[in-house]
Amino acid sequence: MSVHAADPVSAAVAHAFRDERAIVLATLIRQAGDFQLAEDSVQDAFEAAVTAWRRDGVPANPGAWITTAARRRAIDRLRRDRSGANRAERLAELTRLEPPDEEELPMDDESTIVDDRLRLIFTCCHPALAMPARVALTLRTLGGMTTGEIARAFLVSEPTMGKRIVRAKRKIAAAHIPYRVPADDDLPERLRAVLRVVYLIFNEGYTATEGDRLVREELCEEAIRLGELLCRLMPDDAEVWGLSALMLLHDARRAARVDPGGRYIALDEQDRSLWDQGGIREGLARLERAVRLRRPGEYQLQAAITALQIHAPEAGATDWAQIAELFGALVTLNPSPVIELNRAVAVGLADGPAAGLALLEPLLRDSTLEHYQPLYAAHAELLSRAGDTVGATLAYERAIALTGNAVERAELERRLGALR
Amino acid sequence: MAQYMLLVYQEEVGPAEQAEREREMPMFVELHRSLREAGLLVGVQRLHSTESATSVRVRAGETEITDGPFAVTKEVLAGYYILDCADLDEALKHAARVPAARYGTVEVRPMMPADEWLRVSREAGADLPDEAVRDMA
């Protein structure tokens, strides 16, 4: 965030920035019909707030103050810039919203605010934008992240990220990407696209091993916040709750995933006392809410699998049979060799290594997985459990040859060493 | 309302496969009729094959004329539509209805209105009077 909370006024501005920025921006984009104009005007309004609130005191309703200030800035900018497209209509629309005297307009009712943020999410995650642009635009407009922070999180330079965001905004304007919640027949597919963006943001923060750890944690937090916003805005969609549950359940184990030296710790070796029980309870409650809607989906299944892994009092007591069954349902819903692999491992742990190896057999012949390190690591693990030390050695060696990640390599070499 | 050009790219195929495509023309006719009845169709044209294309370049005052399209690609421009649509979602929906989208690619491009063209050029310093807008597009 660009505002530091050194004194009460700065703190109030920072607070308003965190809580109100996306709401004000989403509404002004609709009223002004222009992403860039709206964003610049909201930025101006927050900058003006620092001086004005220091002089006049913090207003009773900071959100309303920022909304009015941002709209007036947009009007000023439109009046100054005589060349903009549809300038006259946009000015008319914005000035129509100005109250005749200085008194504040009543705040938009809750439903309009909700709609605007939903519109904003669907526009930022529109399939006509490239995935990296969707992610960046979502974090920039709905999350409070600056371009520099997003650039650091995705390990690209700030000018590159800036260009990516500007290009996306230009495309939204030039191609008339609509600012609205999609119609019913498009909604399920478009909502899936939104959830994919949110989950990608979460995973980027959760799984990547490179980069600034604090910024990565911020990505997880932004994704969880976006998930919560979607739960509030679309409470009738089971997958919205499923994704929110999945992210909370993963995030609750964050502290246990890495040892003080930065080494990754696999689930079955994690210190369960480090798990955040509050996060787990909230995640489970959301999963339950999702399941009650009786519309199964991939995020709910993944969250259910994670819940079962967490539920066991210790790693050895995990209910692998049920996990294998859930992976089976996931494969039916979303056929993917990677999920097949996870299912084979779960079956191997539930019914013995022979059953798992039988499921792994076709995957080992699948050319798309030829260079997929986890396949050989899983093969090695199952062979080792089946007592085939020679086969397991070969599979570990293959997995080691395929990994480019030092942490993974060390772990595989440790397991290979333990065979002998 | 905005205008979009739908550029239809497809592979140029042998006579047997082309004949198969020709037999699908009633589907195109049906689409064009429906677009026209909805008041969306500004224009549609099919192009002759790239065998008949000629490319022109003027370099250092010299006109170079070469046989063939501007670039040799697997899929080539085979025709276009100009549609009036409310927004990109509507244009994308109609693009998916073009039968050629099943074997080729339909590229959807927003068209720049004349007044925007004038504004952009003026901002860059072009000396253009207001009435130039009539001749721009």
Residues of B with CB below 8 A from A81's CB?
none
Across the interface, whether the CB atoms of B115 and A85 are under 8 A apart is answered yes
Predicted local confidence at residue A403, as pLDDT:
83
Predicted local confidence at residue A154, as pLDDT:
85
Predicted local confidence at residue A216, as pLDDT:
78
Contacts of A37 (CB under 8 A, 6+ apart): A74, A77, A78, A84
Predicted local confidence at residue A1, as pLDDT:
44
Average pLDDT for residues A283-289, to the nearest whole number? 97
Q: What is the mean pLDDT of chain B?
A: 95
Question: Which token pair is A171?
Answer: 């495309």
Across the interface, whether the CB atoms of B89 and A182 are under 8 A apart is answered yes
How many other CB atoms sit within 10 Å of the CB of residue B107? 14
Residues of B with CB below 8 A from A89's CB?
none
Question: Which token pair is B82?
Answer: 């100009």
Measure in Å the smallest separation between the Cα of A173 and chain B Cα atoms: 10
Average pLDDT for residues A302-307, to the nearest whole number? 95
Q: Closest CB to B110: pick one of A126, A174, A182.
A: A174
Give per-residue pLDDT as tens, A362-380: 999 998 888 899 999 999 9
Measure in Å the smallest separation between the Cα of A124 and chain B Cα atoms: 14
- Position A146 pLDDT exceeds 80: yes
How many other CB atoms sit within 10 Å of the CB of residue A387? 9
Q: Closest CB to B110: pick one of A85, A175, A178.
A: A175
Give per-residue pLDDT as tens, A231-281: 999 999 999 999 999 999 999 998 888 777 767 787 778 888 899 999 999
Give per-residue pLDDT as tens, A152-181: 888 899 999 999 999 999 999 999 999 999
Q: Smallest Cα–Cα separation from A251: which of A291, A303, A288, A212?
A: A303
**A81 touches B: beta carbon within 8 Å:** no
- Position A86 pLDDT exceeds 80: no
For the entire predicted model, the pTM comes to 0.84
Predicted local confidence at residue A420, as pLDDT:
73
Average pLDDT for residues A183-212, to the nearest whole number? 86
Give per-residue pLDDT as tens, B68-100: 999 889 999 999 999 999 999 999 999 999 999
Average pLDDT for residues A80-105, to the nearest whole number? 71
Q: Which candidate in A34, A82, A176, A187 is best for mutational testing of the B interface (most B CBs within 10 A)?
A: A176
Across the interface, whether the CB atoms of B88 and A174 are under 8 A apart is answered no
**A62 touches B: beta carbon within 8 Å:** no
> For chain A, give me the number of helices (H) and strands (E)?
20, 0
Q: Closest CB to B119: pick one of A83, A128, A177.
A: A83
Average pLDDT for residues A282-300, to the nearest whole number? 96
pLDDT range class, residue A144, cuts 50, 70, 90: confident
How many other CB atoms sit within 10 Å of the CB of residue A10? 16
How many other CB atoms sit within 10 Å of the CB of residue B111? 16
Q: Is B39 helix (H, G, I), strand (E, B) or coil?
A: coil
Predicted local confidence at residue A404, as pLDDT:
75
Rg, C-alpha atoms of chain B: 18
Predicted local confidence at residue A71, as pLDDT:
95
- Position A2 pLDDT exceeds 50: no
Give per-residue pLDDT as tens, A109-123: 555 666 799 999 999
- Position A5 pLDDT exceeds 60: no
Contact status, residue B31 vs residue B99, Cβ threshold 8 Å: yes
Report DSSP state, residue A183: P
Contacts of A399 (CB under 8 A, 6+ apart): A373, A374, A376, A377, A380, A412
The DSSP element (H or E) to which B106 belongs, if any, is strand B105-110
Lowest mean pLDDT among A85-94, A140-149, A309-318: A85-94
Give per-residue pLDDT as tens, B37-71: 999 999 999 999 999 999 999 999 999 999 999 98
Q: What is the mean pLDDT of chain A?
A: 88
**Which residues of B have a CB under 8 Å from any CB of A?**
2, 85-89, 92, 108, 110, 112-113, 115-116, 119, 122-123
- Position A58 pLDDT exceeds 70: yes
Domain boundaries, chain B: 15-45+112-122+129-136, 50-109
Report DSSP state, residue A264: B
Average pLDDT for residues B2-6, to the nearest whole number? 97
Question: Which token pair is A261?
Answer: 């030296």
Across the interface, whether the CB atoms of A176 and B115 are under 8 A apart is answered no
Contact status, residue A151 vs residue A157, Cβ threshold 8 Å: yes
Across the interface, whether the CB atoms of B2 and A177 are under 8 A apart is answered no
- Position A40 pLDDT exceeds 60: yes
Rounded Cα distance, A140 and A392, in Å: 47
Contacts of B133 (CB under 8 A, 6+ apart): B114, B115, B117, B118
ipTM metric: 0.89
Beta carbon pairs, A and B, within 8 Å: 30
Predicted local confidence at residue A3, as pLDDT:
46
- Position A102 pLDDT exceeds 60: no
Query: Which residues of A, range 106-165, sit inside 8 Å of B by Cβ?
Result: 126, 128
Residues of A with CB below 8 A from B2's CB?
176
Give per-residue pLDDT as tens, A319-378: 999 999 999 999 999 888 989 999 999 999 999 999 999 999 999 999 888 889 999 999
Report DSSP state, residue A100: S
Q: Which candidate in B1, B88, B130 is best for mutational testing of the A interface (most A CBs within 10 A)?
A: B88
